[in-house]
């Protein structure tokens, strides 16, 4: 059974739009856990456009379930993650001009910093995941680097879902193949990006799927239905009770 980790970055985006202290992503994280989420994901970006260092510290101190920190492969982020020691770090590509994470990490073409960061975090007992497109070369490179997990980028499947059933089916088959290849190499498989209440069920049912990281759809629904309801509805779909 897949599990839900809620990405609470978008709550911080709303807060920061007013440069005040509310709504607080730390409060959101507590509500998500009380509503049944198995964990919380946050992305501490280099430009701190949503989650701040203060949020990261308080999330570490208060989250009871899995804490997954998304970050770019930089010396600054490695130092912060080494001090915070979340349960899991997910390496993501990061570009200042992007609205959200675009495309997976080029693990196959990565330099020594990614291998060094992975080894350093693993030595501290932190699980390390690579956010990658569902491609063999990046799966094999992630395993070779010593990652414990991969997170498959579901953005393409989600984009196709509403307007191209054939395209979505093809991309879904690619996700399934990638999942079995990664598991055969001993990697734990997560997935995320663009998942919503309409398209999530097939991905959650992929054999061996571990954890889904979902942010925008849940925070968007919470605006209308409340965070508790938004998370409970998604947990039911992810865990097969919807």
Cα–Cα distance between 79 and 89 in angstroms, integer?
A: 12
Q: Residue from 28, 36, 215, 234 that binds ligand PXP (CB under 6 A)?
A: 215
For ligand PXP, give the closer residue by CB, 123 or 139: 139
3-state secondary structure of 162: coil
For ligand PXP, give the closer residue by CB, 33 or 50: 50
* Residues 209 and 191 sit within 8 Å (Cβ to Cβ): yes
Q: Residue from 33, 55, 133, 151 that binds ligand PXP (CB under 6 A)?
A: 151
Considering the complex, what minimum distance in angstroms separates the CB of residue 138 from ligand PXP?
A: 14
Q: Does residue number 43 form part of the binding site for ligand PXP (CB under 6 A)?
A: yes
Buried b (16+ CB within 10 A) or exposed e, 8-34: bbbbbbebeeeeeeebbbbebbbbbbe
Segment interacting with ligand PXP (CB under 6 A) among 120-128, 137-145, 174-182, 211-219:
211-219
Q: Does residue number 104 form part of the binding site for ligand PXP (CB under 6 A)?
A: no
Cα–Cα distance between 131 and 190 in angstroms, integer?
A: 9
* Residues 185 and 143 sit within 8 Å (Cβ to Cβ): yes
Number of chain residues interacting with ligand PXP (CB under 6 A): 19
Q: Does residue number 92 form part of the binding site for ligand PXP (CB under 6 A)?
A: yes
Cα–Cα distance between 206 and 161 in angstroms, integer?
A: 16
Catalytic positions = 43, 70, 193
* Residues 5 and 239 sit within 8 Å (Cβ to Cβ): no
For ligand PXP, give the closer residue by CB, 33 or 221: 221
Q: Does residue number 176 form part of the binding site for ligand PXP (CB under 6 A)?
A: no
Interface ranges with ligand PXP (CB under 6 A): 7, 9, 43, 70, 90, 92, 100-101, 131, 151, 192-195, 213-217
């Amino acid at each position: 059974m897949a599990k839900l980790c809620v990405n609470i970055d978008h709550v911080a985006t709303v807060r920061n739009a007013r440069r005040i202290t509310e709504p607080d992503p730390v409060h959101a994280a507590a509500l998500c856990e009380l509503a049944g989420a198995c964990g919380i994901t946050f992305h501490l970006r280099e430009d701190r456009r949503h989650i701040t260092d203060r949020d990261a510290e308080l999330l570490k101190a208060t989250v009871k379930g899995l804490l997954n920190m998304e970050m770019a492969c930089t010396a600054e982020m490695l130092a912060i993650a080494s001090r915070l020691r979340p349960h899991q770090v997910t390496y993501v590509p990061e570009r200042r001009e992007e609205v959200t994470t675009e495309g997976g990490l080029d693990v196959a073409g990565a330099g020594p910093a990614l291998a060094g960061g992975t080894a350093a975090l693993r030595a501290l007992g932190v699980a390390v995941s690579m956010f990658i497109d569902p491609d063999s070369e990046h799966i094999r490179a992630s395993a070779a680097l010593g990652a414990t997990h991969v997170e498959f980028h579901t953005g393409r499947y989600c984009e196709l879902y509403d307007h191209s059933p054939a395209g979505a089916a093809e991309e879904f088959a690619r996700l399934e193949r990638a999942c079995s290849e990664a598991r055969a190499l001993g990697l734990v498989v997560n997935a995320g990006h663009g998942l919503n209440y309409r398209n999530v069920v097939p991905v959650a049912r992929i054999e061996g799927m571990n954890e889904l990281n979902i942010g925008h759809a849940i925070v968007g629904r919470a605006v209308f239905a409340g965070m508790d309801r938004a998370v409970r509805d998604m947990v039911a779909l992810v865990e097969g009770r919807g």
